[in-house]
Copies of this chain bind each other. A is one copy, B any other.
Amino acid sequence: MRIYEVAAAAGVSVATASKALNDTGRMQEETRARVKEVAARLGFRPNAMARGLISKRSFTIGLLTNDTYGRFTLPVMAGISEALVDHGVSVFLCAIEDDPALAQTHVDAMLDKQVDGIIATGKRIDRKLPVDLSRLPVPVVYAFTRGPEDSVTFVSDDFQGSRDAVEWLRRVGRQRIVHVTGPESFESVTWRSAAFREVMGEDALVLNGSWSEQWGHDAIARLWTDGEPTPDGIFCGNDQIARGVIDALRERGIAVPQEVSVVGFDNWEIVAAATRPPLTTVDMNLRTLGREAGLTVLALAEGKEIAAGIRRMPCTLVVRESCGGARD
């Protein structure tokens, strides 16, 4: 079913048919309507390759990710897809696994296919993808991964999210709050700790460990045996640590949230819903982040000017039961 058939069926030339369908050119409204009606009846859909060959727009973008198992990338991807489908743009998924050669292969394939732009995403905000995207003939946007200095980058505002979490702990009446988090080498740990200290003071206690449940357990063991006064509020660097913390407290017979309030970070449903009680935690709104990244790369592809820089997207505190109190 080509435009040629539509034109023939409507009794016009292909030029007229094209103009009718695209609402361009000049012709009687009656002619335009008739062509459209015929096209609809015949189920005509223009061939995107022929169209793209002329317009130099493929209505396609590439999504490069090095995260094939992660809970971070999926919502970002969903947000991108959601934002772009409304504009008729399709997304190439490229899983590159931290392999520079594979990454280059994918980038080359995308450029061959004339993508209008590329979004790079990953599993860590402070790591770059193993491929240089800085001198490409198409716009590039970075989402939840590190980009070069002069790039457009979207990340979550971990500082704001953490501040909200700690302030919430204080709102529900907690005084002696500690922060149990991941390895110092992560930038997100730095942001979250900085926010914690901004609210609680410079010498508030921060315990660094791994991102695991086990570390949550170990941290509680340490806090409850070192002779210091025990905390009544714990801000955890992620939900897995919070899970370990809550389990360890229960094993010690310490009631959450009656005696100790706990807040997590990530709002990883499967963990946050399984803790007993369900976990109050910070959601990074990664889907929204993805949506913004998608709209931005599209704007760039259409030639709009977007200032370079890091955009920090707000986080939201999701209140469940591990803190007591209630969201006002």
- When all copies of this chain in the complex are counted, the total is 2
Q: How far is it, in angstroms, between the C-alpha of A82 and the C-alpha of B106 when the chains are bound?
A: 11
**Residues of chain A having any CB pair with chain B under 8 Å:** 45-50, 52-53, 58-60, 63, 68-71, 74-75, 77-78, 81-82, 85, 88, 90-95, 97, 102, 105-106, 108-114, 212-214, 240, 247, 269-270, 274
Q: Is the CB of A69 within 8 A of B77?
A: no
> With the chains together, A106 CA to B113 CA distance in Å?
19
Residue in contact with A90 in the complex, picked from B52, B53, B92, CB distance below 8 Å: B92
Give the contacting residue for A92; candidates B91, B102, B109, B274; CB below 8 A: B91
Please report the C-alpha to C-alpha distance between residue A270 and residue B211 in the assembled complex, in whole angstroms.
11
- The answer to whether B69 touches A81 (Cβ under 8 A) is no
Q: Cβ of B68 and Cβ of A114 under 8 Å apart? A: no
Contact of A91 among B52, B85, B93, B247 (CB under 8 A): B93
List the B side residues contacting A108 at CB < 8 Å. 45
Docked Cα-Cα span, A46 to B109, in Å, equals 10
Identify A49's interface contact among B53, B81, B106, B240, CB under 8 A. Answer: B53
The CA-CA distance from A75 to B85 in the complex, in Å, is 23
From B50, B75, B111, B213, A45 is in contact (CB under 8 Å) with B111
Q: Evaluate contact between B63 and A93: CB separation under 8 angstroms.
A: yes
Q: Chain B's nearest CB lies how many Å from the CB of A236?
A: 15
A114 and B47 in contact, given A74-B69, A93-B92 (Cβ under 8 angstroms):
yes
Query: Among the interface residues A75, A106, A274, which one has the most CB atoms of the partner chain B within 10 A?
Result: A274
